[in-house]
Amino acid sequence: MLHLQPKKLPGIIESTLLLLVTIGIISYFIIDIQTVPHIPILIGILIMIAYGSLKKMSFKDLQYGMTQGAQTGMGAILLFFVIGVLIASWMASGTIPVLMNAGFLLAGGPWFLAIVFAVTAIVGVALGSSFTTAATVGVALIGVAQSMDVSLAMTAGAIVSGAFFGDKMSPLSDTTNLASTVVKVDLFDHIKNMAWTTIPAFVITFVLFMILSPNGSPDVEQLNTFQAGLSETGLMHWSSWIPLVLLVIMTVTKRPAFLSLAISSIVATLIAGIRGVMEWGSLFGTWFDGFQGNSGNDIVNDLLTRGGMNGMLFTVSLVILALALGGLFFVTGIIPSILTRVQESLKSARSATLSTAFTAIGINIAIGEQYLSILLTGEAYQDIYEKAGLARKNLSRTLEDAGTVINPLVPWSVCGVFLSGVLGVPVLEYLPFAFFCLLSPLLTILFGLTGKTLTPKQAKVQALDKAN
């Protein structure tokens, strides 16, 4: 959306008020009236079209802004459809059921929520994708929590926290590579520097989930009942692990996420077909309609009935509308005006760090796209960090602390919409328990205020820059 800037920018007060009013209306509809997010976002689009018309902008230009905004999410939208297929095919092949079964074994001990957080964090680092982690291990663990009558909001918060720890710290992660690339910082220097805020956030989150975990041991008979129900489906088999192993191998070898998920889905479908789980026609039908559980246990059936492209249409439609609204914010000059004014007012290291964090958070809320929060903020603040005498890895760290992990906390964002759809828990319900995502920006703001862990620009680098 960087090219969507009008010739004349509106005033800062006008831009700020319009942005706050639009976000306020969306929040009111979602939180107080409790409508689906599509409605208030569509109202926001109509407000921005009316504003653009008052500014004598042609509808053609406004429409171009909407289409360009929506276009930025096409990669994610295509990925959503493949993830819908992945969940359905992994159910049919028994991959998610064997993960659920492993989850039941883990649930037999104390600190269930802390274990959920740790497991998803490890898987997240291994896969480098919060979406894939939530759609595979996350779906399995939310099923375990559902069967144990553990708070789904807390469990989803633990899953989201762990998945985004991985998304933030994995060298395979798109956002981690994007943040280091945009700011021109070595990838592993960037990851090591993030440890200053990420490790404390991880430890605090783990302790909080230990405290919140259900007291005492779970009902062993109940767990055995669900495990027996999974066994009766006939879905679990040694071959059920093949799609997961294949996905990990393709991820580690840095194959594109779309291809990795698609190939794993095809292999899972073939495994299910060869084993005779379903007829071939019905099996490929699950790619669109999702997998339907068919056992003697109604609760197990509910756990297994998931996935399919059809189940992603709610998510896809919301993402398109949210990004179209973001495109209007740019083409009318609202966000460019605010960014320009912010750049002009920053001079100190403290103000640069705080402003970077709030800008990344603000873009996530206004546009709902984590890649743009990293890209736009990174491009806007590079020169400011140079003038403040700060190493660029401070900027890349703040981009992840306040950009990457904030997106799942916004109900109309790409990540928020996806996670609420896959896990079956609304964003506003799991938000208070997504401790890692809440702590990361708080710690980076705290360190920005105190100046702790901020690395100054090296004298040699400064001399070279002046010479050049």
- Residue pLDDT, tens place only, 351-378: 788 888 888 898 888 877 787 788 778 8
| β-bridge mates for residue 408, sequence order | none
- 3 state SS of 304: helix
- Could you read off the pLDDT tens digit of each residue along the chain, which spans 468 residues? 555 567 678 888 998 899 889 888 888 888 788 788 889 889 999 999 999 999 889 999 999 989 988 887 787 788 888 888 988 998 899 888 888 777 767 666 678 899 889 888 888 886 777 888 888 788 888 888 887 778 999 999 999 999 999 888 887 677 888 788 878 888 888 888 898 999 999 999 999 999 998 875 555 566 677 777 778 788 888 999 999 899 888 877 878 878 888 999 999 999 999 998 889 999 999 999 989 887 766 767 777 787 889 988 887 888 788 888 888 988 898 888 887 877 666 666 677 888 888 888 988 888 777 877 887 788 778 777 877 788 888 888 988 998 889 999 998 888 898 899 889 999 999 999 999 999 999 999 898 888 777 778 764 444 434 444
What is the distance between the alpha carbons of residues 35 and 37, in angstroms, rounded to a whole number?
6
- What is the rounded CA–CA span in Å between residue 116 and residue 150? 12
Cβ contacts of 293-300, under 8 Å, gap ≥ 24: 293/91, 293/233, 294/233, 295/229, 295/232, 295/233, 296/229, 296/232, 297/225, 297/226, 297/229, 297/232, 299/146, 299/147, 299/226, 299/229, 300/147, 300/226, 300/229, 300/230, 300/233
Phi–psi pair at 306, nearest 5 degrees: -155, 170
Task: Determine the pLDDT at residue 462.
Answer: 45
Calpha distance 62→330 (Å, rounded): 10
DSSP string, 154-218: HHHHHHHHHHHHHHHH-TT-HHHHHHHHHHT--HHHHHHHHHHHHHHHHHHHHHHHHHHSPSS--
Cα–Cα distance for residue pair 422/130, rounded to 1 Å = 12
Contact 136, 176 (CB under 8 A): no
Cβ-contact 420, 160 below 8 angstroms? no
Per-residue confidence (pLDDT) for residue 312, from 0 to 100: 82
- Confidence at residue 154, expressed as pLDDT on a 0 to 100 scale: 95
**What distances in angstroms separate CA 361 from CA 74, 83, 370, 402, 406, one per listed residue?**
22, 27, 9, 6, 6
What is the C-alpha separation between 257 and 370, in angstroms, rounded?
17
pLDDT score for 17: 92
Q: In whole angstroms, give the CA distance from residue 439 to residue 446.
A: 10
Longest dimension (CA), the chain: 76
What pLDDT is stored for residue 5 in this prediction? 65
CA of 441: how far to CAs of 347, 407, 437, 445, in Å?
Answer: 21, 12, 7, 6
Q: What is the pLDDT of residue 337?
A: 85
What pLDDT shows up at residue 417?
87
- Of residues 13, 9, 26, 2, the one with CA closest to residue 366: 26
310 by Cβ neighbours in 10 Å (0-12 / 13-18 / 19+) ranks as: middle
104 vs 303: CA distance, rounded Å: 13
Residue 88 and residue 304: Cα distance in Å, rounded? 9
Task: Look at residue 20 and give its three-state secondary structure.
Answer: helix
**324-349 per-residue burial string, b: 16 or more CB within 10 A, e: under 16:** bbbbbbbbbbbbbbbbeebeeebeeb
State the pLDDT at residue 199.
93
Query: What is the CB neighbour count within 10 angstroms for residue 93?
Result: 33
